[in-house]
Amino acid sequence: MLPTFYAWSTEHIRRVFEAKSEHDCLKALDDTFSQRLEFTFNGSPLPRAGLQKIVLAMLQTSGFCLNVDWLNAVEVPRDGSNRNGMLGGYYIIRNVKKPVPGSSELACFERHKSVNVVIESESTDPSVDSRRIVKLAIVATDVPVQATQPPL
């Protein structure tokens, strides 16, 4: 039996967002998301290339220093071997850098993400873990990180 969808998802999403180079990120994206991905971001449908563009921009702006913190997930296998199923989860991506409105200065944010995914095997060979996300719905918002002030 394959690892749970939660274990698979946490590993793969960390590899995507915690990549230390563009090459590593692109490999992780290919290992995680199907080429036939159906993708919506905050209710707007986007092509798979849109996901790649969003992820690479976040990584590059952060200096390839993002961290993922999974808070919870619910998984529903469609079979006894965990080859096909669904997962709903919530995680935070930390160290997101974005320009301050009206300035070229970068500020630190956390991206809070709720995801609903359909995961399917892309091969019928039971000895290969060929699972990929084929449907992805993301609801995300960026929350400013408040700088802590030393006590007076």
Q: How confident is the model at residue 113 (pLDDT cuts 50, 70, 90)?
A: very high
Q: What is the pTM of this model?
A: 0.92
Give the mean pLDDT of the chain: 94
Of the pLDDT bands very low, low, confident and very high (cuts 50, 70, 90), residue 146 is confident
Answer for the pair 14, 27: CB distance below 8 angstroms, yes or no.
no
Q: Convert the pLDDT of each residue in 42-74 to its tens digit.
A: 999 999 999 999 999 999 999 999 999 999 999
The answer to whether 9 and 89 have CB atoms below 8 angstroms apart is yes
